[in-house]
Structure 1
Amino acid sequence: MAGEFVEGWLVAQVLGEGSYGEVRLLVNARTGASVALKTVRSDPASSGATPAAREAALHRALRHPHVLRCLGERTHGDLHYMFLEYAQGGELFDRIEPDVGMPCGPARRYWRQILDGVQYLHSRGVAHRDLKPENLLLDHDDNVKISDFGMATLFRHGGKERVLSRVCGTLPYAAPEVLSAAQRPYRAAPADLWAVAVVLVAMLAGELPWEKAHPDCANYAAWLSGGGARPWGKLTTRALALVKRALQPDPAKRYTLEQLLRHPWTTASGADEVDSPKEESSWRGYSSQPAAAAGALSAADMDDMLSYSQPAHADDMLLATQSDRQTQLTQQSVLQRLVRRMTRVWVRVDEAAALEALCGVLSEQRYQHHYVHPRILAIECGSGLKMRAWALRAGAASGDPTVLLEFRRSRGCGLEFKRRYLQIKQALESIAAPPPPLSRDLLAPPIASQDVGEAMDET
């Protein structure tokens, strides 16, 4: 059962996971406020500062409206815990419709905020080195928050800039000079801006332009030769002109951040975008339970956690424990702000039947899958994409048979995850049901958070 991690704070829902470890929701038992708890396992044999300690030290020094706040840290054995501002709007890729993208207006707003955040990072001499929609979070006001500084480094200090040689980042977003041994070492800022430009293409087109920026990739080779129809035909004239400047293979010719900020597409209003080739379709807006760590956060850290936390959504607390239910139910604003995520499917059969039907769909679509818990499936979709699916009963007390199937990306591209999810959702239409009325039963599913954490550990 979940308990207090630090005084007055309870560990609840898993928000994300990956090779680094896990991110969970941490909820204040008295106020219902919440922060994110990132857990990273370090190599106990390593000497000196661990990568997690270096990440936390760099991250805590950053203060900007479009950079996620690091509020504090703790260590316990080989586990390093970071307390982060909770961005309840999710990841940017949630706003991108696969193969369609999003309207120019919202894309431009996010683009400006991303550039603003990156400009701040570079002014502090920090290179992010893994900018992608999965690391661009959204707060409750739908504002961008740059997150995950696990690959970040200082490239400028005391007015002196150093070049970088490490190959890192996520392949489709990595600049050509990062991938090419002949072009290393490379300058940090242009490489970050290349990644940001690929993010812009994903926002406007709903797809990535290539698997990697290397001549042996056909789509990238077509870009170098000035050919290729997808995804460039989905961009407006101004947007394509901007992307051509931002995705210059030669970093010395690539637009600087200041030039990107001054470009007419960046500075335009939504009404100026009259040459769009497409209609703006509708879009919507590690471990098992951590053990109590040694030591306590300072009073200033605790104040930071409260001042930068946000009210938890009931949706985010679906896996909270029975002992926490009464605290949750006192937070009426939580129920009023319930947000149903796009990666959820309501069905009109019980949990076992829902998962049986899902297994049938997965087999038809030739996805590898297996149970890691009686109500949780691990799914592999190819191309490095992995996800989890679990079944939760919504109306246990009332006898309502409605069940929620929730899907969560574990590894791989967020856009590809969403594309595969939509295919699975369509295949389950024969048992689909409308969401049940908002009820307290939604806060008390039959799967404890510890069960889910342990099941996820198995994979």
Structure 2
Amino acid sequence: MAYASTSHQALTTKTNNAHTVAPKTTWNVVRTLGEGAFGEVKLVVDSRNVSIAVAMKCIDLQRHPHVIDAVRKEALLQRMLRGHRNIVQYIGMRVEGGSEFQIFLEYADGGELFDQIEPDIGMPPAKAQFYFRQLIDGVKFIHSMGIVHRDIKPENILLTQNDVLKISDFGMATVFKHKGQERMLNTRCGTLPYVSPQVLTGTYRAEPTDIWSCGVVLVALLAGELPWESPSIGTKAYMNWKESANLDEHPWKKIGTVALALLRTILTEEEGLRATIERIMNHPWFTADFVKHKGVLSRINSCAQYSSSNGAPVKKRRCELGITEDSCGQFVDSISQPAACVPRCSLEDTLINARKVVERKVVNPAFSQPENIEALLLNHSQIDESQMQCIDPLQLLVRRMTRFCVKVSVVEAMNRIVEACESSGFDAKKRAYNQLAVSDRREMSFMVAIYEMVYLDGKKVMVDFRRSRGDGLEFKRAFLVLKRKLGIIVCKEGTDWLERHGLVCSQAFTQLSVH
């Protein structure tokens, strides 16, 4: 896929009351990570060191000029939350040419939490507890800073390759406490199945609202489905839960008694009786040691050590990036994360001959974050989408379970997928010879891309599904429907190949031994 090179003005750095023009260089835009209502999130790498990758959230100010204040607020709130291992790290922000607002964020290369949830099944309690502990730890920190998220859901929770959970997307967040004074909130926002009843009916307190959302996330983790469409009087499933009338039905009958007791304290309608963070963290289910298998325990312990090392606060340095304090109050801080990477290659071409990239076996290191984010942003005033350096294709793909290998060519696979989509009631439109945009009638959409990879251990044709909009569990269900219809061309041994290259979650981690 061809890209156009876009030039931008050099950034101006204010240092000691003097202005210094930073030298021009380039960002390399690798690909789009996701789409939103007002823009896109792109994966970009440093042209001088392609092992350094960050996520760039781009908001089109020409098409959506009314969102500028909200976007600035989002960036500033996320800046306040730097330094915690379970929050996506804020790097910086700037306006490019007056037409695009860019927020630079840590790149979480392990995918989205919803991808780890098996529809209608969920995940083993040990794995759910592992993620839920990290979620609660992150929410506790957010609240300690006087901020409330207001849109906690699996689609807004990311993972690293080491299974460190990262809370993201602070577009609905706001300050609820300042100098010890808490204010009531009244903005109706969030995602219906996850919002608390008070959000739908009037004023509400901040902390109980996020806690409620965490409870719904836990239901999804344990049962693979949502408990209700909304927590309202008109929703039968919610009213039955409120009256304890449906505990022998889905999803509750799939959840153990101790976990169900915890959910009873969290999903309590009255805010004053709802569990606090401290109560959740002291609950027997939260503190229980589910893990028996030494290998899994070692993996989890190593993840915890990784989290701790990356979560330590870093020394902060400030500089202004061509945006006045009046317009944005912008500063950029240095954030460091260890780990080196092998070179990577553009995925936008379907046919990839990786022998031209490396002549050795694949390794799966994590992406690096820059040692000096300040210098990285100041020196990148041009974003170049045409001069992408050759980098390892496998390392550009976020790990997720919604991909598989097929035994046919790219062209035949594309034709088969279009047929499967049409017979399943999906609207499929070709974006390129190897890309499809698929949607349904419920405002759920996703992208399908087909990549032919020739690597040292063989040639594989991989089909990759990526959610664009809508509920993550519904997306996973759609994926499973289409995969079943394509069963005759699915390459069974391809699963091992994908796992070996870190493109799907390790089966050793998903098959936990639990009580």
The TM-score with structure 2 as length reference comes to 0.72
Q: CA deviation at 1:49?
A: 5.5
Q: Deviations over 1:299-318 (max 9, x none)?
A: x95853xx248656889952
Does the 8 A contact of 2:50 with 2:343 survive in 1?
A: no
Q: Deviations over 1:77-106 (max 9, x none)?
A: 231111111111111111111111111112
Provide the secondary structure at the position in 2 that maps to 1:116: helix
Distance in 2 separating the partners of 1:342 and 1:148: 22
- The corresponding residue for 1:419 is 477
Task: Kindly provide the amino acid, as one letter, of the partner of residue 101 in structure 2.
Answer: H
- The corresponding residue for 2:126 is 105
Task: Kindly provide the amino acid, as one letter, of the partner of residue 462 in structure 2.
Answer: L
Structure 2 CA distance for partners of 1:262 and 1:321, relative to 1, 3 Å? same
- The corresponding residue for 1:319 is 348
1:249 and 2:269 matched: yes
- The corresponding residue for 1:51 is 70
Structure 2 CA distance for partners of 1:123 and 1:431, relative to 1, 3 Å? same
Q: CA deviation at 1:350?
A: 2.2
* Match 2:464 to one of 406, 421, 425: 406
4+ long deviations beyond 4 Å: 2-6, 43-49, 300-303, 309-317, 320-323, 325-340, 396-400, 436-439
| Unmatched 5+ stretches in structure 2 | 8-23, 293-302, 304-320, 324-330, 367-393, 502-515
Provide the secondary structure at the position in 2 that maps to 1:379: strand
Structure 2 CA distance for partners of 1:241 and 1:43, relative to 1, 3 Å? farther
Distance in 2 separating the partners of 1:48 and 1:204: 36
- The corresponding residue for 1:216 is 234
Q: Deviations over 1:120-149 (max 9, x none)?
A: 111111000100011111123211111111
1:389 and 2:448 matched: yes
- The structure, 1 or 2, with the larger RCO (C-alpha pairs under 8 Å, 6+ apart) is 2
Structure 2 CA distance for partners of 1:321 and 1:234, relative to 1, 3 Å? closer
Provide the secondary structure at the position in 2 that maps to 1:419: helix
Does the 8 A contact of 1:207 with 1:415 survive in 2?
A: yes
Distance in 2 separating the partners of 1:313 and 1:178: 47
Distance in 2 separating the partners of 1:239 and 1:381: 34
Distance in 2 separating the partners of 1:14 and 1:313: 21
Q: CA deviation at 1:349?
A: 2.2
Structure 2 CA distance for partners of 1:16 and 1:312, relative to 1, 3 Å? farther
Task: Kindly provide the amino acid, as one letter, of the partner of residue 236 in structure 1.
Answer: G
Provide the secondary structure at the position in 2 that maps to 1:270: coil
1:22 and 2:40 matched: yes
Q: CA deviation at 1:158?
A: 1.4
* Match 2:94 to one of 52, 74, 79: 74
Identical positions, percent: 39
| Unmatched 5+ stretches in structure 1 | 273-284, 286-293, 443-459
Provide the secondary structure at the position in 2 that maps to 1:363: helix
Distance in 1 separating the partners of 2:481 and 2:66: 47
Task: Kindly provide the amino acid, as one letter, of the partner of residue 235 in structure 1.
Answer: I
Structure 2 CA distance for partners of 1:93 and 1:146, relative to 1, 3 Å? same
Does the 8 A contact of 1:68 with 1:145 survive in 2?
A: yes
Q: Deviations over 1:396-436 (max 9, x none)?
A: 99995x53221111111111111210111111111122439
Distance in 1 separating the partners of 2:207 and 2:290: 28
Distance in 2 separating the partners of 1:136 and 1:327: 35
The alignment's C-alpha RMSD in Å is: 3.5
Distance in 2 separating the partners of 1:174 and 1:46: 28
1:41 and 2:66 matched: no
* Match 2:214 to one of 182, 196, 200: 196
Provide the secondary structure at the position in 1 that maps to 2:467: strand
Provide the secondary structure at the position in 2 that maps to 1:137: strand
Structure 2 CA distance for partners of 1:322 and 1:429, relative to 1, 3 Å? closer
Task: Kindly provide the amino acid, as one letter, of the partner of residue 347 in structure 2.
Answer: L
Does the 8 A contact of 1:42 with 1:51 survive in 2?
A: no
Task: Kindly provide the amino acid, as one letter, of the partner of residue 100 in structure 2.
Answer: L
Indicate the larger mover: 58-67 or 327-336: 327-336
Structure 2 CA distance for partners of 1:303 and 1:120, relative to 1, 3 Å? closer
Structure 2 CA distance for partners of 1:28 and 1:239, relative to 1, 3 Å? same
Distance in 1 separating the partners of 2:351 and 2:127: 40
1:127 and 2:148 matched: yes
- The corresponding residue for 1:266 is 286
Structure 2 CA distance for partners of 1:397 and 1:158, relative to 1, 3 Å? closer
Indicate the larger mover: 215-224 or 307-316: 307-316
Indicate the larger mover: 151-160 or 74-83: 74-83
Structure 2 CA distance for partners of 1:318 and 1:234, relative to 1, 3 Å? same
Provide the secondary structure at the position in 2 that maps to 1:382: coil
Distance in 1 separating the partners of 2:117 and 2:475: 12
* Match 2:252 to one of 217, 220, 232: 232
Distance in 2 separating the partners of 1:163 and 1:327: 59
Does the 8 A contact of 1:4 with 1:10 survive in 2?
A: no
- The corresponding residue for 2:405 is 346
Structure 2 CA distance for partners of 1:168 and 1:302, relative to 1, 3 Å? closer
Distance in 1 separating the partners of 2:427 and 2:418: 10
Q: CA deviation at 1:295?
A: 5.0
- Aligned length, in residue pairs: 411
Distance in 2 separating the partners of 1:199 and 1:169: 13
Structure 2 CA distance for partners of 1:83 and 1:331, relative to 1, 3 Å? farther
Does the 8 A contact of 1:394 with 1:436 survive in 2?
A: no
Distance in 2 separating the partners of 1:257 and 1:11: 40
Structure 2 CA distance for partners of 1:130 and 1:314, relative to 1, 3 Å? farther
Does the 8 A contact of 1:378 with 1:386 survive in 2?
A: yes
Structure 2 CA distance for partners of 1:53 and 1:225, relative to 1, 3 Å? same
Distance in 2 separating the partners of 1:404 and 1:44: 35
Does the 8 A contact of 2:148 with 2:174 survive in 1?
A: yes
Task: Kindly provide the amino acid, as one letter, of the partner of residue 404 in structure 1.
Answer: M
* Match 1:355 to one of 410, 414, 417: 414
Indicate the larger mover: 41-50 or 85-94: 41-50
Provide the secondary structure at the position in 1 that maps to 2:59: strand
Does the 8 A contact of 1:314 with 1:334 survive in 2?
A: no
- The corresponding residue for 1:288 is none
Q: CA deviation at 1:31?
A: 4.8
Q: CA deviation at 1:22?
A: 1.3
- The corresponding residue for 2:510 is none
Q: Deviations over 1:135-185 (max 9, x none)?
A: 1111232111111111110011111111111111111101111112xxx11
Q: CA deviation at 1:392?
A: 2.2
Does the 8 A contact of 1:42 with 1:52 survive in 2?
A: no
Q: CA deviation at 1:219?
A: 1.2
List aligned pairs for 1:432-447, cutoff 5 A: 432-433=490-491, 434-435=493-494
Task: Kindly provide the amino acid, as one letter, of the partner of residue 275 in structure 2.
Answer: Y
Does the 8 A contact of 1:3 with 1:10 survive in 2?
A: no
